[in-house]
Amino acid sequence: MAADDKEEGEVEDGIEDGYNKMKLAENDPNVLIAQFQLLQQQLQNVLIQKESLNMNLMEIDRATEELEKSKEGSAYKITGAIMVKKSAEELKKDLAESKETLEVRVKSLEKTEKVLTDKLKELQEKLRKIIK
């Protein structure tokens, strides 16, 4: 029983040491700057992905408009290395599904963007306080 108590005490000491190190790291400007830079990179990646998805959404909108203008009952869709003839209605349905999927992904990226921006603002304030 005493051995178990000793092991529990060691575990608690280890946790406390880890917590104290985290507390020290929270106030270490070098650690905070590294975290800030990492968050900036993550935000930049999210913004690039979001811009790419928004461009895809614009392409889908243009394709849908062209299908609406067209008096043809069918059109061609590029699939891999070939073109496949499909009905205009089927293509419109495919485009609508793709658009919906992309919009969900954009919303998800916007949420991630907000979280990262908030964290960056928080870190920026911490850095300002430490540097002053």
- Give domain status of residue 47, yes or no: yes
Rounded mean pLDDT, 15-21: 50
Average pLDDT over residues 34-63: 97
Domain carrying residue 87: 40-131
Answer whether residue 10 shows pLDDT above 70: no
In a domain, 93, yes or no: yes
Task: Answer positive or negative: Cα dihedral of 103, 106, 112, 116.
Answer: negative
In this predicted structure, what is the pLDDT of residue 71? Answer: 87
The pLDDT of residue 18: 47
Between 25 and 90, the more confident residue is 90
Considering its fold, how many domains does the chain have in total?
Answer: 1
For residue 97, the domain's CATH number is 1.10.287.370
104 and 51 Cβ atoms separated by less than 8 Å: no
Record the pTM. 0.74
% helix, strand, coil for the chain, step of 5? 85, 10, 10
- Has residue 72 been placed in a domain? yes
- Structural domain includes residue 5: no
- Examine residue 25 and state whether it is found in any structural domain, yes or no: no
